[in-house]
A and B are shown apart, each in its own frame.
Chain A
């Protein structure tokens, strides 16, 4: 169930190369699961911008976004106190019940944010998540400390080797064992590599260009083993078993 509301920008600060963390204040009662997203109206742009919820509480939502185009550029310049029109409660989110004691959380670049809220939710259920994050370079890395503060194991890879393990998340995952389920969000090529490498079951959060974000336009449809599915409505999180590549 979604809801359109006004939110106030409480903070908006750069946390890595082109990456910003924004805290929004307003109604969060429609958010039910980690991995859901919000759809933000930005002045002068016709379509809203979908961004994952990093974490939330009774009155605030934290998002992390990368400046990749004109809309996110405008977003990065918004000052504290700016009012935004946002749809919340979108998407299905991750199902924390599907994992046992030691779920593996894999985030790639700005696919990392939803892993943070998920990590908190899993810890609350008494689980011990293992977190693997992949970035291009040291200047892109963010939220390492935030994850460590939750008391979980965190492994980081960078493609150029300037921080953590040189290579990809899969290079780290190959050295890990004992996990029983995985959750992941990140660029398509990373998701595919993870999908091919890991044998246990898992959930993957996908991305598509969206028209509405509420399931009305069929703009974001992917083909799955169960037939056509809308990323914004039936997803963005899909079971490993339903995906076709």
Chain B
């Protein structure tokens, strides 16, 4: 019997497979199609203080081996999620979830973090710092070491659960940002969010996405994500949840060798809603093939 279990901070997972934020809703759309309790955990749709409609459509553009999205954090707001969605979630998911939250100011991050920190079902709080800071000319919190650290400290000051900072790859040096988060007290790093990209429609000669640009994800970004996880693993001591293009059990093993303790699977769920189940089922034979008895043992072994 191979051992798939891993531990993120104090949260023990049966396996390292976690559907990524924004590609799994709050689990509702998947629960009737397979038993989602086989998952290690799942990261809920990025939730903000206020309810958000998000961006105009088209929000989706296809790419070679991936897609661009500009959903714009559509969500019903943290109060609704905590009051209405969490009690429902408890009925169909009996493991700790990862609460992904976003904000447009430090206060919004604090507000949301404080709320989810009180929820029994939340195992880890994942802070998406790719959002623009409305008090700083719209510059994303995650693109400056200073503001990334500020968010980390602010969230840590109001929470007791492990806080994982989710990094954007759209920076000159992601290692600096990761270190700033660690210095700010982060318990772990989630990486990577989407890469800024765009597509143009040759017939209309205009961008396909209404917002012109959006976040690029899917298998095409796997090598970039892998490289960044590898670099950050060398620079920080806290655990990393690796993501970006993961679609197979092999990708999971590769990402863990680079330094990830667990992985999130995003876009692949959109193409194949059963992909996480299939990866979990394929992992044991894939591990045997590469003579791995326990997944824990391979974390960072490429270094």
Instruction: Give chain A's interface residues, CB within 8 Å of chain B.
Output: 1-4, 41, 45-48, 87, 208-212, 214-223, 228, 233
User: How many Å from the CB of A88 to the closest CB on chain B?
Assistant: 12
Query: A45 near B62 (CB under 8 angstroms)?
Result: yes
Q: Does B67 contact A (CB under 8 A)?
A: yes
Q: In the complex, A211 Cα to B194 Cα: how many Å? A: 15
Query: B250-273 toward A: CB 8 Å interface, digit per residue (1/0)?
Result: 000000000000000001011111
User: Please, how many angstroms separate the alpha-carbon atoms of A68 and B67 in the complex?
Assistant: 19
Chain B residues with CB under 8 A of A1: 32-33
What is the minimal beta-carbon distance from A41 to any residue of chain B, in angstroms?
Answer: 7
Docked Cα-Cα span, A45 to B69, in Å, equals 16
Which partner residue on chain B sits nearest A220 by CB separation? B57
Other CB < 8 Å A-B pairs besides A2-B33, A45-B62, A216-B25, 13 of them? A4-B273, A46-B64, A47-B60, A47-B67, A209-B61, A212-B270, A212-B273, A214-B273, A216-B269, A220-B59, A221-B74, A228-B53, A228-B54
**Which residues on B are within 8 Å of A, measured CB to CB?**
22-25, 28-30, 32-33, 45, 53-54, 57-67, 69, 71, 74, 208, 218-219, 267, 269-274
Name the residue among B22, B59, B63, B208 with the largest chain A CB count within 10 angstroms.
B59
Q: Tell me which of B63, B219, B269 contacts A212 (CB under 8 A).
A: B269
| Contact A216 B54, CB 8 Å, known A45-B62, A46-B218 | no
Q: How close is A189's CB to chain B, nearest CB, in angstroms?
A: 15
Across the interface, do B54 and A218 meet the contact criterion of CB distance under 8 Å?
A: yes
**A218 and B74 within 8 A (CB):** yes
Q: Is the CB of A222 within 8 A of B57?
A: yes
User: Which chain B residue lies CB-closest to A210?
Assistant: B60
Instruction: Tell me which residues across on chain A come within 8 A of B24, comparing CB atoms.
Output: 216
Q: What is the chain A residue whose CB lies nearest that of B22?
A: A217
Please state if A220 and B60 are interface contacts (CB–CB under 8 Å): yes
User: Is the Cβ of A46 less than 8 Å from the Cβ of B273?
Assistant: no
Q: Which of these, A45, A47, A217, contacts B71 with CB under 8 Å?
A: A217
A3→B34 CA distance, assembly (Å): 10
Chain A residues with CB under 8 Å of B23's CB are: 212, 216-217
Contact A217 B57 (CB under 8 A): no
Asked whether B62 lies within 8 Å of A47 as measured between CB atoms, the reply is yes
Could you tell me the distance in whole angstroms from the C-beta of A84 to the nearest C-beta in chain B? 14
Chain A residues with Cβ below 8 Å from B274 are 4
Partner of A46, one of B29, B62, B269: B62
Residue contact A219 to B63, C-beta cutoff 8 Å: no
Q: List 13 A-B contacts (CB under 8 A).
A: A1-B33, A2-B33, A209-B57, A211-B60, A212-B273, A215-B25, A215-B29, A216-B269, A217-B69, A219-B57, A221-B54, A228-B53, A233-B29
Q: Tell me which residues across on chain B come within 8 A of A218, comparing CB atoms.
A: 22, 25, 45, 54, 59, 71, 74
Docked complex Cα distance between A211 and B60 (Å): 6
Q: Cβ of A211 and Cβ of B53 under 8 Å apart? A: no
Report which of B60, B65, B66 forms a contact with A209, defined as CB distance below 8 A: B60
Complex CA gap A221/B162 in Å reads 33
Cα(A46)–Cα(B217), bound, Å: 11
Q: Which residue of A lies closest to B272 (CB)?
A: A4
Whole-angstrom CA separation of A156 from B24 in the bound complex: 43
* CB nearest to A221 among chain B residues: B74
